[in-house]
């Protein structure tokens, strides 16, 4: 059995590496926090790991656009190593700013370094910081969301509105069940703002690759690593840190398949 070993990216304004690494170790895996400059300077180091994690934050101050600078640096300085990583069917997850980087470098929805979708300014025109409810697409091939129906998680972003480049791209993603999770209200119904905090098309909160091994989402699963993280914990709203389910699925997949 192979041990799940994750590289958690840090540096240049990424600000959630420690919570993310904790979530992985609390789920039974191993996590090493490495500065992005190390990966950019020696991309082959990725081969020492079987999961790559791009945490949330404001990499490079979100200059130009959210995560665009980080995406370009990774694309043009670590492209071959990243391509080998995904070709070897290892796991990749991007959370919030990490999700923005994955779509802008072209690893999602297809890992061919061609951008097909974006995450742009919230329709509300302001930063959104609140807990949301997600409904998972149970037909999705996503490794990370297997067995999860609903999940409460916090969002904290100013550029989280999912928009595809064309109707054809959206239809293909929907047809292949790559739209992995959706913003819904407390009854599990599709609803507009504030339940959809950013105005995403079709309420999309996260997407995956066709093989389900690359996943990006705007809400923060690492921020729900203990039941007391949930705003309703004193009313018994949660008995565990349910965001850990995302990472537990990844660890179990690696142990069973790699």
- Sorted by where each begins, the domain ranges of the chain are 5-257
Other C-beta atoms within 10 Å of 85: how many?
24
Residue 189 makes CB contacts below 8 A (sequence gap 6+) with: none
Residue numbers annotated as active site: 96, 220, 222
The pLDDT of residue 1: 64
pLDDT < 50 stretches in the chain:
none
d(CA 13, CA 26): 24
Whether this prediction's pTM lies above 0.95 is answered by yes
Find how far residue 229's CA is from the centre of its chain: 19
The pLDDT of residue 2: 74
Instruction: State the CATH architecture for 5-257.
Output: 3-Layer(aba) Sandwich (3.40)
Other C-beta atoms within 10 Å of 190: how many?
13
Residue 101 makes CB contacts below 8 A (sequence gap 6+) with: 54, 59, 67, 70, 71, 74, 94
């Amino acid at each position: 059995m192979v041990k799940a070993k994750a590289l958690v990216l840090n540096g240049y304004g990424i600000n959630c590496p420690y919570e993310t690494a904790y979530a992985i170790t609390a789920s039974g895996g191993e996590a090493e926090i490495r500065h992005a400059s190390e990966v950019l300077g020696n991309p082959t180091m990725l081969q020492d790991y079987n999961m790559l994690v791009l945490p949330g934050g404001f990499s490079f101050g979100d200059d130009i656009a959210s995560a665009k600078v980080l995406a370009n640096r990774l694309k043009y300085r670590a492209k071959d190593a990243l391509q080998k990583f995904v070709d070897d069917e290892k796991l990749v997850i991007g959370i919030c700013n990490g999700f923005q980087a994955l779509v802008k470098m072209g690893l999602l929805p297809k890992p061919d370094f061609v951008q097909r979708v974006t995450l742009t300014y919230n329709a509300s025109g302001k930063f959104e910081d609140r807990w949301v409810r997600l409904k998972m697409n149970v037909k999705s091939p996503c490794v990370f969301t297997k067995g999860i129906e609903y999940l409460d998680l916090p969002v904290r972003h100013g550029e989280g509105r999912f928009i595809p480049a064309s109707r054809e791209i959206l239809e293909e993603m929907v047809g292949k069940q790559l739209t992995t999770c959706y913003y819904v209200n407390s009854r599990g119904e599709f609803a507009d703002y504030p339940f959809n905090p950013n105005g995403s098309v079709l309420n999309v909160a996260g997407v995956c690759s066709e093989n389900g091994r690359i996943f990006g989402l705007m809400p923060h699963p690492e921020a729900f690593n203990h039941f007391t993280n949930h705003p309703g914990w004193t009313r018994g709203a949660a008995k565990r840190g349910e965001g850990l389910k995302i990472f537990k699925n990844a660890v179990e997949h690696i142990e069973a398949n790699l």
